[in-house]
Amino acid sequence: MNILHRFANPTRFQRLSKKIEPWVLVLMLLTMGSGLYFALFSSPVDYQQGHTVRIMYIHVPAAWMALFCYTAMAIAAAISLIWKHGLADIAVKATAPIGAAFTFLALVTGSLWGKPMWGTWWVWDARLTSVLVLFFLYLGYMALRDAFDDPARGAKSSAILVLVGFVNVPIIKFSVDWWNTLHQPASVIRMDGPTIHVDMLMPLLLMAFAFKFYYLWVMLVRIRQELMAQRIRALKHRQAIE
């Protein structure tokens, strides 16, 4: 528990995050640059899908991030509810728009891929519907968080909502196994190893890491900005009292 509360101290966190941030940024640019190069130029064309397969290098990592961000939010929300950890609460708030953006990206790229491949922009199968619900959960979180005059109330209420909505995450993950969907089943994270060729797997993983680093970078920036906003609010409050 010590390690949890060590970084509840905003000053200590800010000092650490300033040190980490440039490294994260460099890693993000490296993985994103090489990932995009391999994905767009130096990876084989699929024998069925042609060049449209390249959409996958954005779509799949974005969809992973959509789930990853929500899981991160649920863990942080649990920590903030159980141990009243201030930074965990800010982390939930900072993650929500990023997760929503990745979910939106996954939906849009999936739709762009679906038109040439499935012949339709959208189908109501289990995977697509459950991801759409995830998008609504992100929006609902942000709406609920801002709906109260008392920010502390909004933080707690929305943290409970995040935990309730977590039931959707396993449903999304396993929707392609439980139902007969148009969406193809998992081909990278499976018990018997990936079924995707290594030339395609490498750009995919590079992009996945690029998105992870991007998330980490934006989150550090957003958390520091939120801490600063809190400090300004506190100063203004004190000024108003005096």
Partner 1 sequence: MSGLSVILRREIRLALRHSTDSFMVVGFFVIAVVLFPFGVGPESNMLARIGPGVIWVAALLAAMLSMERLFQTDYEDGSLELLVLSPVPMELTVCAKVFVHWLTTGVPLILTAPLLALMMNVPFEAWPVMLASLALGTPVLSLIGAIGAALALGARRGGVLLSLLVLPLLIPVLIFAVGAIDAHLMGGGAKANLLLLGGVLLGALALAPWASAAALRQAVAS
Residues that bind partner 1 (CB under 8 A): 129, 133, 136-137, 139-140, 143-144, 147-150, 152-154, 156-158, 160-161, 163-165, 167-168, 171
CA distances from 147 to 47, 152, 218 (A): 51, 11, 24
Give the nearest distance from C-beta 170 to partner 1 in angstroms.
12
User: Of 37 and 178, which CB lies nearer to partner 1 in the complex structure?
Assistant: 178
Residue closer to partner 1 by CB (options 39, 128) is: 128
Integer Cα distance of 242 and 233 in angstroms: 14
Please answer whether residues 76 and 47 qualify as being in contact, where contact means their C-beta atoms are separated by less than 8 angstroms.
no
Q: How far is the CB of 6 from partner 1 (least distance, A)?
A: 26
DSSP helix/strand/coil, 46: strand
- Residues 6+ positions from 116 with CB-CB distance below 8 Å: 52
Residue nearer to partner 1 on the CB measure, 77 or 206? 77
Between 86 and 194, whose beta carbon lies closer to partner 1? 86
Nearer to partner 1, 126 or 200 (CB): 126
Q: What's the CA gap between 122 and 156, in Å, rounded?
A: 35
Q: Which is nearer to partner 1, 126 or 206 (CB)?
A: 126
Cα distances (Å, whole numbers) of residue 40 to 15, 56, 115, 152: 38, 11, 20, 46
For residues 172 and 182, what is the distance between their CA atoms, to the nearest angstrom? 14
Question: Shortest distance, CB of residue 140 to partner 1, whole angstroms?
Answer: 5
How far apart (Å, rounded) are the C-alpha atoms in residues 46 and 187? 15
> Which is closer to partner 1, CB of 65 or CB of 134?
134
Q: Do 138 and 106 meet the contact criterion of CB atoms below 8 Å apart?
A: no
Give least dist CB 77 to partner 1, A. Answer: 12
Q: How far apart are CA 218 and CA 91, in angstroms?
A: 11
Shortest spacing between CB 235 and partner 1, in angstroms: 23
